[in-house]
Amino acid sequence: MSTSSAIQWHDTRLAAVRKWESACPYEDFIDDGAIEEALSTQANPDKAHTLAIVEKARDNARAGAMLSPEDVAVLANTQDRDCWEAIYDAANWIKRAVYGNRIVLFAPLYISSPCVNNCAYCGFRTSNDAVSKRTLTMDELDEELAALVGQGHKRLVLVYGEHPSSDHEFICETIARTYSVRRGYGEIRRANINAAPLFVDEYEAVRASGIGTYQVFQETYHHETYRKVHPQGTLKGEYRWRQFALHRALEAGIDDVALGVLFGLYDWRFELLAMLHHAVALEKAFDIGPHTMSYPRLEPALNTPLATRSPHVISDEDFKRAVAIIRLMCPYTGSILTARESPAVRREVMRDGGVSQMDAGSRIAVGGYAQMEHEHIPDRQQFILGDARSLDEFVYDLCRDGYLPSFCTAGYREGRTGANFMPLAKHATVNRFCIANGVLTFKEYLLDYASPETRAIGERVIHTYLEWIDANVPQLADKVRQNLEREGQNQRDLHF
Ligand code: SAM
Ligand code: SF4
């Protein structure tokens, strides 16, 4: 596609976006002044008050309630070591109570990098000639999918730049292609997407193609910072259009939506409160909260000074705090920690932050899985990954630390999405199915893909979780054992 037709596409779309914004039926739910005030009012919180909020968060996990913005401001401001330890303890406890001690695994699949936007932090921005951009052909997509299912992945997030060559019709085509791949027992059972905001009719088409979760990150909720890093005159420069992307997706009937921020663009405490306001706004309008929250941290990208020089770069310690507070403030929302982080940071944040989903064996160059041996291809990547472990190594490490690696995708295929999923997650009953499905999908991985070392340690993990099922969900125990036997006889995709 020529540059001039991409510019024309962009300008026509921007005019339509602005028309939508001028008739936008929703109120801006981010009041910057009120958030700053909540943070400054709670600048030096009392220890007893802070610990009482931590206890409230534990109670909330059973009742499915969120903390208030004032509570979150208290937690974010505490400087007391004991309070931090109490927050980490509670995050870990809530994660186990709501989700069980499992980690759901997925991989990102970058499908296109050409982009009409010019986000100051992103290697794919239109003005960055140091990164070469491209869109996978359908044949190349097949190669990527073959490599991914060959590792054992069942769940992907497909990632796209915003460009006429990757419009909603292309997104639908790539989703269909993704679900059609078969390699032995290998297949993709859930394709989530991370793509730029769309119109409601476009979302309807994407929903019909069978996506799992739709993710779009606000990057920063702080209006002034948003304007600084997303140039005016670009589609991404339109704050409200992006702010209500998930509202439009829910209007279109997409059940599972996911929000996020890019930590490092503005004060992390502000972003936490803003994410909470976003979750509340979705609940208010649709009775459905966010399915997951993501909190990528700014990573270095080729020829992208802001990515390393932002005044709001967040330290490892504060990052861990932020993730733990997310677990306390929205106990029923999945929490995604990506391979942007180093293995050491991931290990610690997973434990103390109550994380529930992680990507593994990731490659983020467009076409990167077909060249798996190259951990980094900087001139084709949006940023540089921190964790390049293979899926098998990652699974081994999870087992060593006592987690149950899960490839489960049953929830949405059994209709546990949106309004049906929320009560299960909010009353901490979803883990009954999830541990059982986690065990079954992990066994498939061990049978079909694992190295001998991972298989040995993995069998011990399965044994431990069978005991958990015996003790906590005895009504499923026989069925799980029968299904494990059937898997041993080469049956697959058995789930509750
Ligand atoms: N183009 C779509 C959009 O902007 O919504 C798709 C998302 S983009 C390919 C995926 C996400 O990567 C962005 O939403 C942003 O949060 C994150 N990202 C961009 N630049 C980054 C960087 N330098 N380090 C870490 N994450 C980055
Ligand atoms: Fe494009 Fe997304 Fe990168 Fe912005 S973050 S330049 S919209 S790919």
The tokens for 125 are 């921005």
Q: Are 358 and 338 in contact (CB under 8 A)?
A: yes
Residue 196 CA: nearest ligand 1 atom is 5
Same domain assignment for residues 117 and 73: no
Q: Are 64 and 426 in contact (CB under 8 A)?
A: yes
The tokens for 336 are 């995604």
Q: Are 272 and 39 in contact (CB under 8 A)?
A: no
- Closest ligand to the CA of 119: 2
Identify which of 109, 168, 217 to mutate to test ligand 1's pocket (most ligand atoms within 8 A of the CB): 217
Identify which of 13, 17, 110, 117 to mutate to test ligand 2's pocket (most ligand atoms within 8 A of the CB): 117
This prediction's pTM: 0.95
By the 10 Å C-beta count (0-12 exposed, 13-18 middle, 19+ buried), 432 is classed as middle
Residue 340 CA: nearest ligand 1 atom is 25
CA-based radius of gyration for the chain: 22
Determine which residue's CA is closest to atom 14 belonging to ligand 1: 217
- Cα–chain center distance at 339: 11
Q: Each residue of 329-358: b (16+ CB within 10 Å) or e?
A: bbbbbbbbbbbbbeeebbbbbbbbbbbbbb
Q: Are 135 and 113 in contact (CB under 8 A)?
A: yes
- The neighbouring-strand residues paired with 336 are 294, 357
Query: Distance from the CA of 195 to the center of ligand 1, in angstroms?
Result: 10
- Closest ligand to the CA of 219: 1
Same domain assignment for residues 243 and 380: yes
Same domain assignment for residues 470 and 338: no
Query: Distance from the CA of 113 to the center of ligand 2, in angstroms?
Result: 8
Same domain assignment for residues 150 and 271: yes
- Closest ligand to the CA of 241: 1
- The torsion region of residue 304 among left (phi > 0), alpha (psi -120 to 50) and beta comes to beta
Determine which residue's CA is closest to atom 4 belonging to ligand 1: 196
Same domain assignment for residues 24 and 61: no
Cβ 301 under 6 angstroms from ligand 1: yes
Question: What's the pLDDT at 495?
Answer: 82
Question: How far apart (Å, rounded) are the C-alpha atoms in residues 493 and 447?
Answer: 13
Same domain assignment for residues 186 and 290: yes
Q: Which of 361, 389, 417 is the last residue of a domain?
A: 389
Residues with a CB atom less than 6 Å from ligand 2: 115, 117, 119, 122, 124-125, 161-162, 196, 236
Residue 219 CA: nearest ligand 1 atom is 16
Same domain assignment for residues 56 and 110: no
Identify which of 10, 17, 116, 125 to mutate to test ligand 2's pocket (most ligand atoms within 8 A of the CB): 125
- Closest ligand to the CA of 235: 2
Residue 160 CA: nearest ligand 2 atom is 8
Query: Distance from the CA of 291 to the center of ligand 2, in angstroms?
Result: 22
By the 10 Å C-beta count (0-12 exposed, 13-18 middle, 19+ buried), 269 is classed as buried
Query: Distance from the CA of 189 to the center of ligand 1, in angstroms?
Result: 24
Query: Distance from the CA of 120 to the center of ligand 2, in angstroms?
Result: 9
- Closest ligand to the CA of 198: 1
Q: Are 146 and 98 in contact (CB under 8 A)?
A: no
Give, in degrees to the nearest 5, the angle at Cα 144 between 301 and 9.
Answer: 65
The tokens for 379 are 């001139």
The tokens for 433 are 């199915």
Q: Are 35 and 13 in contact (CB under 8 A)?
A: no
Query: Distance from the CA of 195 to the center of ligand 2, in angstroms?
Result: 9
Long-range contacts of 343-347 (CB under 8 A, 24+ apart): 343/386, 343/387, 343/389, 343/397, 345/316, 345/319, 345/320, 345/386, 346/386, 346/387, 347/397, 347/401
Query: Distance from the CA of 477 to the center of ligand 1, in angstroms?
Result: 42
Cβ 114 under 6 angstroms from ligand 1: no
407 falls within a domain: no
Cβ 161 under 6 angstroms from ligand 1: yes
pLDDT in tens, 447-475: 999 999 999 999 999 999 999 999 988 99
Same domain assignment for residues 15 and 78: no
Low-confidence ranges of the chain (pLDDT < 70): 1, 372-373, 411-413, 415-431
Q: Which of 358, 389, 420 is the last residue of a domain?
A: 389
396 falls within a domain: no
Same domain assignment for residues 339 and 245: yes
Question: What's the pLDDT at 381?
Answer: 80
Same domain assignment for residues 200 and 71: no
Question: What's the pLDDT at 493?
Answer: 86
398 falls within a domain: no
191 falls within a domain: yes
The tokens for 326 are 């997310």
Cβ 121 under 6 angstroms from ligand 1: yes
> What type of residue is 72?
V
Q: Are 425 and 332 in contact (CB under 8 A)?
A: yes
Write the CB contacts of 271 (distance below 8 Å, at least 6 apart in sequence): 220, 221, 222, 261, 263, 322
Residue 113 CA: nearest ligand 1 atom is 9
Instruction: Count structural domains, the chain.
Output: 3
Q: Is the dihedral of CA 45, 47, 51, 52 positive or negative?
A: negative
408 falls within a domain: no
Question: What's the pLDDT at 49?
Answer: 97
Domain with residue 270: its CATH number is: 3.20.20.70
Query: Distance from the CA of 236 to the center of ligand 1, in angstroms?
Result: 12
pLDDT in tens, 318-356: 999 999 999 999 998 999 999 999 999 999 999 999 999
Question: What's the pLDDT at 431?
Answer: 67
Same domain assignment for residues 312 and 447: no
Cβ 408 under 6 angstroms from ligand 1: no
Same domain assignment for residues 59 and 187: no
Query: Distance from the CA of 13 to the center of ligand 1, in angstroms?
Result: 21
Query: Distance from the CA of 115 to the center of ligand 1, in angstroms?
Result: 11
* Count of Cβ atoms closer than 10 Å to residue 414 Cβ: 14
The tokens for 307 are 């990515």
496 falls within a domain: no
Between the alpha carbon of residue 3 and those of residues 173, 232, 236, 367, the distances in Å are 23, 19, 18, 23
Query: Distance from the CA of 331 to the center of ligand 2, in angstroms?
Result: 30
- Residue 63: give the domain boundaries: 33-92
Cβ 196 under 6 angstroms from ligand 1: yes
- The neighbouring-strand residues paired with 193 are 158, 214
Identify which of 109, 215, 382, 383 to mutate to test ligand 1's pocket (most ligand atoms within 8 A of the CB): 382
Between the alpha carbon of residue 71 and those of residues 33, 34, 62, 326, 456, the distances in Å are 17, 14, 18, 12, 45
Between the alpha carbon of residue 346 and those of residues 135, 312, 340, 480, the distances in Å are 30, 21, 9, 31
Residue 294 has phi, psi (to 5 degrees) of -120, 155
